[in-house]
Amino acid sequence: MKRELLKFLACPGCGAELQLEVAKETDGQIESGALLCVPEQRRYPISGFVPRFVNSDEYVGSFSKQRQYVEKHFDDYVQDRSGDELFLATTGFSGPEISSGVSLEVGCGYGRFVDVVQRMGGVIVGVDLSTDSINLAQRFVGLRPNVHLVQANLLKLPFRPGAFDSVFSIGVLHHCPDTREAFDAIRPFGKPGGQIAIWVYHPRNKISANRWRIVTTRLPHTVTYGWCVLNQALFSPLRRLPGGGLVNAIIPGSRPGPGRRFWMRVLTDFDSLSPRYAHVHEEEEVRDWFERAGLERVRVLSRVTAVTGRIPASAKSQASV
């Protein structure tokens, strides 16, 4: 943890300022210690350079299992740059805004988009509930300048309201028990005039996968993972053919393509078939969430079910960053 992170943090229980207690500091970064909430006498540990506001993975155990598989093939992910173009298309953010502001990514996973924002020159705080995910993100990007990582539940985020110029979540909120509740939970952390963007699953893109999920979500993760390996080994040749995407109407799976290596496709499929929750939403439904939350200039972007909007500049800021 970098000391600069402290100005964004607040107790997730009562919203009070947190006091820093350092046990071990390495090269200017806090490797171990604690964050203390004096009013509630709570103590949140810092371990492995990451402040931790939860003590379990709760409903995201499949993602921790996925990150364990990702770690075995992590070189493929480190070299992947497909997120560069996808980030701006999915959020509607502008490069200059990102490079000059402070962003919050809710559900940062192994750090794919944290990496993108940091290389664009922006300050980025990434938060994830999964222990294995945040540990992998720390290994990937955590020690870089302008990167801060936190383990926490997005429904109880440990940040000061109005602390961030942009807040985004790509492919995460639909894995919560209630997607709308998750969206409403992240809304308060954007500054007046700041931008919020999310991307969630659309029904037409998950028809086949959701049929299979009736079975795969009831199987041990190792069995589902084994099927994903077999699926890619057997059916990738068919998916490469013209019209090969039709295979997915029966057997869902990632299509081969430039940069989409075998193990990355396997783990994308595992990500689709294993989580407990994988809700789907129409674009107009998501747009309505933004408008009901008081956001302005709400837009549905070119990527299906990617929606962005701005917090009114006149909105009262509760931040003291």
The structure tokens listed for 195 are 């931008």
Q: Which strands, in side-by-side order, build the sheet including 29-37?
A: 19-26, 29-37, 42-47, 50-51
CA atoms within 13 A on the CB side of 151: 28
Cα–Cα distances (Å) from 73 to 36, 148, 263, in that order, read: 37, 24, 7
Query: What is the tens place of the pLDDT at every residue in 190-229?
Result: 999 999 999 999 999 999 999 999 999 999 999 999 999 9
- Which has the higher per-residue pLDDT, 80 or 2? 2
pLDDT of amino acid 170: 97
Strand pairing report for 306-310 and 296-300: antiparallel
Query: What is the tens place of the pLDDT at every residue in 112-153?
Result: 999 999 999 999 999 999 998 999 999 999 999 999 999 999
Q: CA 68 to CA 298: how far, in whole Å? A: 37
pLDDT of amino acid 203: 96
Query: What is the tens place of the pLDDT at every residue in 57-100?
Result: 555 555 566 667 667 777 777 778 888 889 999 999 999 999 99
**Pick from 179, 167, 229: which is nearest to 203 by CA?**
179
Helix ranges (H only) for the chain are 61-72, 74-78, 82-91, 95-100, 112-119, 131-137, 179-186, 207-216, 221-240, 262-273, 283-292
Query: What is the tens place of the pLDDT at every residue in 11-67?
Result: 999 999 999 999 999 999 999 999 999 999 999 999 999 999 998 655 555 556 666
**Pick from 61, 152, 67, 66: which is nearest to 105 by CA?**
152
CA–CA–CA angle 107, 288, 124 (5° rounding): 25
Query: What is the tens place of the pLDDT at every residue in 166-181?
Result: 999 999 999 999 999 9
**Pick from 163, 181, 182, 86: which is nearest to 125 by CA?**
163
Q: CA 210 to CA 94: how far, in whole Å? A: 34
pLDDT of amino acid 122: 96
Radius of gyration of the chain (CA): 20
Q: CA 199 to CA 304: how far, in whole Å? A: 8
Strand pairing report for 164-170 and 147-151: unpaired
Query: What is the tens place of the pLDDT at every residue in 256-272?
Result: 988 788 988 998 999 99
pLDDT over 80 at 281, yes or no: yes
pLDDT of amino acid 69: 64
Which domains are delineated in the chain? 3-201+280-310 (3.40.50.150), 207-273 (no CATH)
309 has which bridge partners?
196
Q: CA 321 to CA 311: how far, in whole Å? A: 18
pTM of full prediction above 0.85:
yes
